[in-house]
Structure 1
């Protein structure tokens, strides 16, 4: 198993532009709350109702369609996501605010990330950041654009760039005070140190991996309603994966501890507070624990479930 990057944290929604009508700002704020609870279908209905308002400006529509596309990405509705983001880009030329334009590029970048087009992801994310580099505030938008860059460079295993952009994310997470952002930054840092350990086999890097993973979990414990279920599930899977791959304890001890973390992840998934597809990671880890025990039938069943 490999550590999971918290790409789904990119889909936390927040209001961005002062030029938006008040009803649009309220709509996006509501969608943010729904997305935190993994209620993407309800978020889609909320956005669609807002789009139908005849008083919408180009700025309203640029952002609303962008967010709609992001919601569709969350539920893997690729065709609808593409259509919504293309609509956002149609309104972009007449939008007055550079922030609205940056929002459009954020979701265009996110769509390209979904299609595994990393060069386009970087191009669009940097364009978005350039549009708002002289704009005060908009911490959430700056955070998400930088996280897209971090995630893309992680795919290229460019640790210098990964560290550069996760530090930018950390800056905006600290300024915003958003616990979910903070937890995801620490998950990102833990991933960087795990990459380093796999390259250099330095125990200090593995210790740093665990330090930041524990730090993310402490953030969740302090703010359980403000850290998303998706982020929590990824933490638990990464803890279990550490026990599978790197702990020096006996197999039995490692399995007991790992299953405690996986149980938290399973409960969160059963409560529908995180994307269903995370079950694949859980069953994969359980399968890998079963194989060294010689229980190949159970291992196979877990893989089939996955």
Structure 2
């Protein structure tokens, strides 16, 4: 029975919760604080969570669940998702302790979801702790360790020694199942180091107990006495914590410490009066501590089993039987008996009566062993069925989440693809628009260029026309000037010719008659000059083509004297004026007119003056 009882003690130590002190004065003080009318509504969830944890440690699961739900409700009303996550984490632990597996998965998932919504690293650590506790219940050590490591990773952003100690404790317990001595010692030590940074002495007491178990593993491996001394040293540290802070360490926690100390003395120390006395004292202390504490039968039964072992060592069979029967009766009073402990006690009773030769009772208790084993098997089957159902739901949910993630990834990829297509289309439209705009602009530029070129061409043509017109005008002006000069030259020639004739006439007269009246000649000449000046002005006004036309008409047979006579006739001078200007006889003027008509090819009836005026106009 000794080894069986010892294994039970270790199991109790590992499975105990990490929590706040749970004695009645502490619970009463928390309840008064919650009921305080002046308490801010936002501050209530923290106190309610502490009160729920205190009830949980006191094994009052109904009250614990009620307070945790109340805390979650208020926290959610105030959108305090971090505290709500802690409330649901506590509900996860409560339901796991009370074997309420049907809703365990839902509650633990809610804890993680609320933690994610809070975006708070410490809240996330609590959410992962809830998941670790779920998979602890489902006996899935790999996932239990995975979520603990994830929680510790979150605490790197915002350290919190309280939840860190709890996560390390879970890692310690998981590696205990694998007998990984190095990791058991490592995580038990880290749990203790973090617990020392808090004022949670109940948590510290449990951490010391974990260290004692770690050293017991090392002692069993190495056999070194110093490891056994360390086992007792850390159990004594747990006891000292209770002695220093009796109101802040739960009786249940200290009772387990007492049972473990008694178990160490029973298993590893020789049967002498000193060690036996200490062990019996610790075993009785555990039983006394748990009187009237609900749901603690397995711990009290374990202490009675230890007392029975020591009674058997002394040879007090009646006392040994009495302790075993007390443990047997105690375990049968539980609403949900812990069959593992009950089977061990019934098996011990069967063995005891067999040794006493009372085979009838031995057989009866052995039959009960079979009965309780079957009930235990059925209970395990039911629990396993619930666990399998939870695992199935978990896998189903994980698959659904995976499918949703794949769909989300596919949707994101499609969205990304559509976005790329939209972007490409937009870029294409922009390119087409810019291309169209560029082509339109280029077309407009070309049109402007063409218009400019056309305008330049028109301007060039206009300039050319204007240049031609200017050149033509200049040419006409030059021709006019030339003609005018020709006219002036002709008029001047006529005048010079006239002056020469006058001079010759004077000369001839001077040669013939010395009594020449010069004054008369000069006077006459002045009159003639005046007439000639007027004639000269009128000759210059004759049509520019006049002389060319009559010359062409006469086929260039006209002499200078003929053209001079034509000019005088065109100017409507009579025969007398012409004879005076030309200093010829009127008869000579008439003869010249006749010759000119012939040269011009005029009929006898045609009037030379009329012809010349028509030609001049």
Q: TM-score, normalised by structure 2?
A: 0.44
2: CA distance, partners of 1:66 / 1:254: 42
Please name the residue that 2:123 is paired with: 100
| Residues 155-198 of structure 1, C-alpha deviations (whole Å, 9 max, x = no match) | 22222212221222222122113322322222122112211221
The range that moved more, 173-182 or 252-261, is: 252-261
SS at match of 1:52: helix
2: CA distance, partners of 1:188 / 1:9: 12
Structure 1: runs of 5 or more not aligned: 14-19
Matched, 1:262 2:283: yes
Q: 1:62 touches 1:88 (CA, 8 Å); kept in 2?
A: yes
| Equivalence map 1:236-255=2 (5 Å) | 236-250=258-272, 254-255=275-276
Aligned equivalent of 2:216, options 194, 201, 210: 194
Structure scoring higher RCO (CA < 8 A, sep ≥ 6) equals 1
Quote how far apart the aligned CAs of 1:130 are. 0.8
Please name the residue that 2:15 is paired with: 7
Please name the residue that 1:27 is paired with: 48
Matched, 1:228 2:250: yes
Q: 1:85 touches 1:108 (CA, 8 Å); kept in 2?
A: yes
| Equivalence map 1:105-254=2 (5 Å) | 105-136=128-159, 138-250=160-272, 254=275
Structural RMSD (CA): 2.8
Does the C-alpha gap of structure 1 residues 92 and 175 become closer, same or farther in structure 2, counting only changes over 3 Å? Answer: closer
1: CA distance, partners of 2:321 / 2:296: 27
Matched, 1:281 2:302: yes
Quote how far apart the aligned CAs of 1:147 are. 0.8
The range that moved more, 62-71 or 293-302, is: 293-302
1: CA distance, partners of 2:255 / 2:110: 33
| Residues 255-282 of structure 1, C-alpha deviations (whole Å, 9 max, x = no match) | 5432321221112211318734323422
Please name the residue that 2:28 is paired with: none
| Residues 90-121 of structure 1, C-alpha deviations (whole Å, 9 max, x = no match) | 44443322222221110221122233221111
Quote how far apart the aligned CAs of 1:298 are. 5.3
1: CA distance, partners of 2:98 / 2:297: 10
Q: 1:287 touches 1:302 (CA, 8 Å); kept in 2?
A: no
Q: 1:187 touches 1:235 (CA, 8 Å); kept in 2?
A: yes
Size of the aligned set, in residue pairs, is 298
| Residues 235-258 of structure 1, C-alpha deviations (whole Å, 9 max, x = no match) | 1111111221122233x6655432
Q: 2:19 touches 2:54 (CA, 8 Å); kept in 1?
A: no
Please name the residue that 1:82 is paired with: 105
Structure showing greater Rg: 2
1: CA distance, partners of 2:236 / 2:259: 13
Quote how far apart the aligned CAs of 1:81 are. 3.3
2: CA distance, partners of 1:300 / 1:212: 29
1: CA distance, partners of 2:301 / 2:136: 20
Please name the residue that 2:462 is paired with: none
| Residues 28-80 of structure 1, C-alpha deviations (whole Å, 9 max, x = no match) | 23334444544433221112223334615344443322211212223333334
2: CA distance, partners of 1:186 / 1:274: 24
Quote how far apart the aligned CAs of 1:285 are. 2.4
Matched, 1:48 2:56: no
Structure 2: runs of 5 or more not aligned: 1-5, 22-40, 330-341, 343-617
